[in-house]
Structure 1
Amino acid sequence: MTDSRASQASPSPTPTATATATAPSESGQTEIDPTTADRVLKTKHRAMWASGDYPTLAADLIWSLGPVLVDAVGVHPGDRVLDVAAGSGNAAIPAALRGGSVVASDLAPELFDAGRRRAQEAGAELEWREADAEALPFDDAAFDATVSCVGVMFAPHHRRAAGELLRVTRPGGRIGVLSWTPEGFIGQMFKTMKPFAAPLPEGAEPAPLWGDEQHVRELLGTDVEELEARRQSVTIDHFASPEAFRDYFKRNYGPTIAVYGRIADDPDQVRALDDALVELARSHGLRTTGDALQWEYLLVTARRA
Structure 2
Amino acid sequence: MTDATTISATQTDADRALKQKHRAMWASGDYPRLASELIWRLGPRLVAATAVQPGERVLDVAAGSGNVAIPAALHGATVVASDLTPELFDVGRRLATEAGAELEWREADAEALPFTDASFDVVLSCVGVMFAPHHEQAADELVRVAAPGGRIGLISWTPDGFIGRMFKVMKPFAPPLPEGAQPAPLWGDEQHVRALLGDRVDEVEAKRQTVTIDALATPEAFRDYFKAHYGPTIAVYSRIADDPDQVRALDEALVALAVEHGLGVTRKAMEWEYLLFTARKR
TM-score, structure 1 as length reference = 0.88
* Correspondence for 2:185: 208
Q: For residues 43 and 261 of structure 2, what CA distance do their matches in structure 1 show?
A: 24
Q: Percent identical across equivalent pairs?
A: 75
Q: For residues 238 and 43 of structure 2, what CA distance do their matches in structure 1 show?
A: 30
Q: Does 1:82 align with 2:51?
A: no
* Correspondence for 2:7: none
Q: What code does the residue aligned with 2:227 have?
A: K
* Correspondence for 1:293: 270
* Correspondence for 2:107: 130
* Correspondence for 2:18: 41
- Match 2:201 to one of 220, 224, 229: 224
- CA positional deviation for 1:301: 0.2
Q: Does 1:107 align with 2:84?
A: yes
* Correspondence for 1:153: 130
Q: What code does the residue aligned with 1:81 have?
A: V
Q: Which segments of structure 1 move beyond 4 Å, counting only runs of 4 or more?
A: none
SS at match of 1:77: coil
- CA positional deviation for 1:287: 1.0
Q: For residues 86 and 187 of structure 1, what CA distance do their matches in structure 2 show?
A: 20
- CA positional deviation for 1:289: 10
- CA positional deviation for 1:126: 0.1
Number of aligned residues: 273
- Match 1:66 to one of 37, 43, 47: 43
- CA positional deviation for 1:80: 0.1
* Correspondence for 2:170: 193
SS at match of 2:151: strand
SS at match of 2:115: coil
- CA positional deviation for 1:239: 1.0
Q: For residues 202 and 149 of structure 2, what CA distance do their matches in structure 1 show?
A: 9
- CA positional deviation for 1:240: 2.0
- CA positional deviation for 1:149: 0.2
Q: For residues 11 and 194 of structure 2, what CA distance do their matches in structure 1 show?
A: 28
Query: If you compute each CA radius of gyration, which structure gives the higher value, 1 or 2?
Result: 1
Q: What code does the residue aligned with 2:12 have?
A: T
SS at match of 1:272: helix
Q: What code does the residue aligned with 1:191 have?
A: K
CA contact (8 A) 1:147 1:177 kept: yes
TM-score, structure 2 as length reference = 0.95
CA contact (8 A) 1:210 1:216 kept: yes
Q: For residues 216 and 45 of structure 2, what CA distance do their matches in structure 1 show?
A: 23
* Correspondence for 1:235: 212
Q: For residues 199 and 284 of structure 1, what CA distance do their matches in structure 2 show?
A: 27
Q: Does 1:93 align with 2:53?
A: no
Q: For residues 44 and 256 of structure 2, what CA distance do their matches in structure 1 show?
A: 31
CA contact (8 A) 1:237 1:290 kept: no
* Correspondence for 1:270: 247
* Correspondence for 1:177: 154
Q: For residues 94 and 11 of structure 2, what CA distance do their matches in structure 1 show?
A: 38
SS at match of 1:190: helix
Q: What code does the residue aligned with 1:138 have?
A: F
Q: What code does the residue aligned with 1:205 have?
A: Q
CA contact (8 A) 1:239 1:289 kept: no
Q: For residues 290 and 189 of structure 1, what CA distance do their matches in structure 2 show?
A: 19
Q: For residues 257 and 136 of structure 1, what CA distance do their matches in structure 2 show?
A: 27
